[in-house]
Amino acid sequence: EEAEKRANMPAVSKGDGMRGLAVFISDIRNCKSKEAEIKRINKELANIRSKFKGDKALDGYSKKKYVCKLLFIFLLGHDIDFGHMEAVNLLSSNKYTEKQIGYLFISVLVNSNSELIRLINNAIKNDLSSRNPTFMCLALHCIANVGSREMAEAFAGEIPRILVAGDTMDSVKQSAALCLLRLYKTSPDLVLMGEWTSRVVHLLNDQHMGVVTAAISLITCLSQKNPDEFKTCVSLAVSRLSRIVSSASTDLQDYTYYFVPAPWLSCKLLRLLQCYPPPEDGAVKGRLVECLETILNKAQEPPKSKKVQHSNAKNAILFEAISLIIHYDSEPNLLVRACNQLGQFLQHRETNLRYLALESMCTLASSEFSHEAVKTHIETVINALKTERDVSVRQRAADLLYAMCDRSNAKQIVAEMLSYLETADYSIREEMVLKVAILAEKYAVDYSWYVDTILNLIRIAGDYVSEEVWYRVIQIVINRDDVQGYAAKTVFEALQAPACHENMVKVGGYILGEFGNLIAGDPRSSPLVQFNLLHSKFHLCSVPTRALLLSAYIKFINLFPETKSTIQEVLRSDSQIRNSDVELQQRAVEYLKLSSIASTDVLATVLEEMPPFPERESSILAKLKKKKGPGAVSVNELEEGKREGGELNGGGERGGDSSSTPSPSADLLGLRAGPPVTAAAPSAGSLLVDVFSEAVKQPSPTAFLRLFVCKNNGVLFENQLLQIGIKSEYRQNLGRMYLFYGNKTSVQFVTFTTTVTCPGELQSHILHIHTWNSLEPLIEGGAQVQQVINIECLTDFSDAPLLNIKFRYGGALQNLTLKLPVTINKFFQPTEMASHDFFQRWKQLSLPQQEAQKIFKANHAMDTEVLKAKLLGLGMALLENVDPNPENFVCAGVIQTKAQQVGSLLRLEPNAQAQMYRLTVRSSKDTVSKRLCELLAEQF
Amino acid sequence: MQFMLLFSRQGKLRLQKWYVPLSDTQKKKISREVIQIVLARKPKMCSFLEWRDLKIVYKRYASLYFCCAVEDQENELITLEIIHRYVELLDKYFGSVCELDIIFNFEKAYYILDEFILGGEAQETSKKNVLKAIEQADMLQEEAETPRSVLEEIGLT
């Protein structure tokens, strides 16, 4: 057995070879079952525990061996809850391997809030100041691996110094650069390059390629965040790149990789340049264009090696260069060359290259310079969609087809995508369906094609056709009277299929219910035939579809009086009127009653044809936007496509009178139930808008809300009919708000009602609101009424309460929902404090989640007095002479809620040169920091 | 790069390196998920795939899969060569490396990786320089070690 164990061990054990560890690993590998493994591990853990607890002081070697065993056990996936102290002890050993194991254990196992962090930081500090480069590197690796905030606090000041010091060894510089990068990613506020900026940028000129390779990652990350401060890196990067690109393949010695000079560095240089616009300096730009041309030329040269590593490294640079060309989007010549190069790759035997070419072409398709060039590859891409064996490659091909689609090729592409759908992988069907639906809508010239396409979608991939897609086809059919007859005929035919998808039944039911009359003249599709066809599907359908069908039936009674008795009989049957489903039963009862007692006039009014839907963003598009993937990049072009192709919703022809027939009850499907805020605002105004002007632009209700973060009084809402003013006062956790409703017209508003609701969490325990006086239901023309609302803040909150206003104006129902400007900062009590206290508290609030930070562009002029006024309006105390930098603002305050008090500190750092702000909020409660930061970031 | 995983054809994790802060549970969940996805792929399929908002770049060497997760804007091909260079480094250090070398000398595999990649970015791409750093460290330990008895070595004391 022993011999077998040995055979399992590698022949060569490098380095110190801890025999006991090897035996243990071997034992674990020989365990026949999970239970045996756990047993062996528990035995070992007990052994190690006893060694660590034993009276005999362990020597460094044993400690190292046991710590290493614990690490192995942890990496196997078991929990380790001891040994940390022993690992920390190893850090201060002067034997390298012991120190090394100690650091490895800590890198893997110590989480940031460990109590040991102080001891660890001490050991790191010692090693950093040891001037022994090997020890310094170990310490830096550990910081980079753990990367916690505590470490950033301890070392973010020291490491830049090490990085730029003249006497630092190259290997240490490399570690220092990447260590700093990691700290910057976790705690950007603590890594301040300041005076070091220029010297860090100049590392791009360093003689040692390794130093440049490491430093450029840091510089790229810093440039993304502070482009102006680092912009001198552009010319340095260009000259470095130019030297590499023009060097012979052997010049760079060990930095040449399979005959490609410095591929990693080249890629990083090209990536860094993508943080900036094209160089303004003509000479620099000329040199860069030359580099890009050389890279494109090299792609055409015969390979210097047959190894895949050679071509991968070479093409990595090529793809990065193409990304830069696309990023600049200003050199038509380079863009077209890039496109041709990618075209060659589309037929390459390497799957990887085909994949990347498809991916990269997707972005090229959106450039006006290369869109046409991309389109020439349509046949190859269609072929890829049909023949690629790897689903991820086919997915890229589908994305590219979507991106290259325009009016000229839409029919071909949609047809190909439809036929691909029949065999497409389940994982991508839903996205494909959305894309087909969007393309069909975007490029529809004749709407019969659009209707055919969507019905085909339902036929081929009905399960993947989401509500958004079939709602949309109904909206469009309703809005365009030129397609209604065709749609009715087509759904009627589609429903003839013995097995048709339930979504088809839904669309069919809705469309025949609305427009069945348009085909009723043909005896083959007479009213009764239509009804029988629909009803033959009824029993196979789910409850929601049955409910929809019942509504279609009542619409039939209105459209075709001759079907009345047949349908009434159906409604009256036990399976309907006594259905166990409440919704179905209710519909059956109500429709039966309606059809029996209402006069034809009433029926005709209630069951009138649906009015056109208001123009709004396609909900399908919204859905695709939510889905990830590069194919979604160009979705916002839909709006453009619409403008070219005329109004899809037919809004221009019929949209104007949309609110004259509000009859909300007629919308049996609830298709109109869009988001209340956006739907309400335009309809409230549209009556008058038509008379006075085309479109009076109305800020969204949320825009009004933003105005009230730093002030308490003002106009909350205004349109042609109504003005709502607001006055509010707050004390402790209580507030009172006065609302003034002004009728701007000369006609009275009737049935005027308002309701305040707190959606979701807000209702039960966050905000307690009650209205003080009830309003008269009548507001005379030109009159104003007042309402008072009392507010109590129970605990902190993020959402705002909603105010819903309903009234009738000239018979038309106006419905409006606004957010009430109650934000958490209203409950601030200002707190004055001295500089010392401020910073002490600031430090106390140092948990990462207690802080929220935003860096954002200035939206208004950076006027100090205006800033002060806004900060005072926020409700906190504005503290003078606290921040060492007089440009900065700091504030302190306590938010009073019934449940608790939440102390908050704020620091706003304007950067006038960059026209940017950095806002940092720290609070004893994480949700408060986050919310305050969101609210304030919109204010400056 | 956000993380690197080495695992066997049987799905056993041999090395894991995380460059973003995650809890142990998250790490376990992610490893399981990624290993499962990669193992399900057929040979000849492309080496890249989208996973959540990241890209997975992987390559198989003998019985081991090397797998990196990089951000969306990263270069796939150069990541593939990062993997290859790491394999070359292991190979040179162990002398035609096999899975067992990495199991039994896992700490060395981590040290080599740290010299090559730090904080998720290439620190030193020269093979010579990386190996020099590791060999220097090995020298340091040989000087420091004193010979031990066999019994002690196998953990029986």
A161-190 confidence digits (pLDDT tens): 999 988 899 999 999 999 999 999 988 888
Decide if A254 touches B, using CB distance below 8 A: yes
- Whether B105 sits inside 8 A of A356 (CB atoms) is no
With CA atoms as reference, report the closest residue to A274 among A178, A182, A175, A363: A363
Q: Where are the alpha helices (DSSP H) in A708-748?
A: none
Q: Is A95 annotated for ligand binding?
A: no
Neighbours of A228 (CB within 10 A): 11
Which residues are CB-contacts of A98 (< 8 A; sequence separation ≥ 6)?
A60, A61, A63, A64, A90
Per mean pLDDT, which range of A108-117, A324-333, B18-27, B28-37 is the poorest? A108-117
Q: Is the pLDDT of residue A250 over 80?
A: no
- Whether A263 sits inside 8 A of B81 (CB atoms) is yes
pLDDT category, A641, cuts 50, 70, 90? very low
- Whether A23 sits inside 8 A of B81 (CB atoms) is no
Rounded distance between C-alpha atoms, residue A869 and residue A383, angstroms = 64
Nearest to B108 among A14, A19, A108 (CB): A14
A508-518: average pLDDT: 93
pLDDT at A111: 65
pLDDT category, A465, cuts 50, 70, 90? confident
Q: Is the pLDDT of residue B122 over 90?
A: yes
- Whether A352 sits inside 8 A of B80 (CB atoms) is yes
Q: How far is CA A89 from the centre of its chain?
A: 45
With CA atoms as reference, report the closest residue to B4 among B14, B23, B13, B17: B17
pLDDT at A765: 56
Query: H or E element: which one contains A525?
Result: none
Q: Is A19 annotated for ligand binding?
A: yes
Interface of B with A in 68-107 (CB under 8 A): 73, 75-78, 80-82, 84-85, 93-95, 98, 100-101, 103-107
- Whether B105 sits inside 8 A of A77 (CB atoms) is no
Per mean pLDDT, which range of A593-607, A652-666, B118-132 is the poorest? A652-666
pLDDT at A640: 40
- Whether A351 sits inside 8 A of B103 (CB atoms) is no
A338, A429, A450, A484, A513 from A473: Cα distances, Å? 39, 19, 8, 11, 15
- Whether A71 sits inside 8 A of B50 (CB atoms) is no
Decide if A352 touches B, using CB distance below 8 A: yes
Q: Is A240 annotated for ligand binding?
A: no
Nearest to A100 among B101, B111, B120 (CB): B111
Rounded distance between C-alpha atoms, residue A133 and residue A206, angstroms = 19
Decide if B62 touches A, using CB distance below 8 A: no
pLDDT at A597: 87
A337, A396, A631, A774 from A343: Cα distances, Å? 10, 14, 18, 71
- Whether B21 sits inside 8 A of A112 (CB atoms) is yes
By the 8 A CB rule, do A348 and A337 touch?
A: no
Rounded distance between C-alpha atoms, residue A273 and residue A654, angstroms = 51
Q: Is the pLDDT of residue A651 over 50?
A: no
- Whether A8 sits inside 8 A of B100 (CB atoms) is yes
Contacts of A179 in chain B (CB under 8 A): 118-119
A327-351: average pLDDT: 92
Decide if A511 touches B, using CB distance below 8 A: no
DSSP state of A581: S
Q: A488 burial class (0-12, 13-18, 19+ CB within 10 angstroms)? A: buried
- Whether A20 sits inside 8 A of B153 (CB atoms) is yes
Which residues are CB-contacts of A744 (< 8 A; sequence separation ≥ 6)?
A720, A721, A722, A723, A782
Find the closest chain B residue to A180 by CA distance.
B119
What pTM, to 2 d.p., does this model score? 0.67
Helix A263-273 with A308-328: angle, nearest 10 deg: 10
Residue A899, φ and ψ in degrees, nearest 5: -75, -40
The β-bridge relationship of strands A828-830 and A784-793 is unpaired
What would the two tokens of residue A675 be?
Answer: 């988001």
Nearest to A210 among B81, B126, B150 (CB): B126
3-class secondary structure, B119: coil
Q: How far apart are the first and last CA of chain A?
A: 75
What would the two tokens of residue A31 be?
Answer: 């365990």
By the 8 A CB rule, do A213 and A206 touch?
A: no
Contacts of B11 in chain A (CB under 8 A): none
Contacts of B105 in chain A (CB under 8 A): 10, 13-15
By the 8 A CB rule, do A104 and A70 touch?
A: no
DSSP state of A762: I
The β-bridge relationship of strands A750-757 and A722-731 is unpaired
DSSP state of A870: H
Rounded distance between C-alpha atoms, residue A788 and residue A726, angstroms = 10
A93, A248, A304 from A261: Cα distances, Å? 41, 8, 12
The number of CA neighbours under 13 Å toward the Cβ of A555 is 26
pLDDT category, A657, cuts 50, 70, 90? very low
Q: How far apart are the first and last CA of chain B?
A: 44
Residue B118, φ and ψ in degrees, nearest 5: -135, 135
Q: Is A258 annotated for ligand binding?
A: no
What is the percent of chain B with per-residue pLDDT over 90, rounded to a whole number? 67
With CA atoms as reference, report the closest residue to A263 among B50, B21, B82: B82
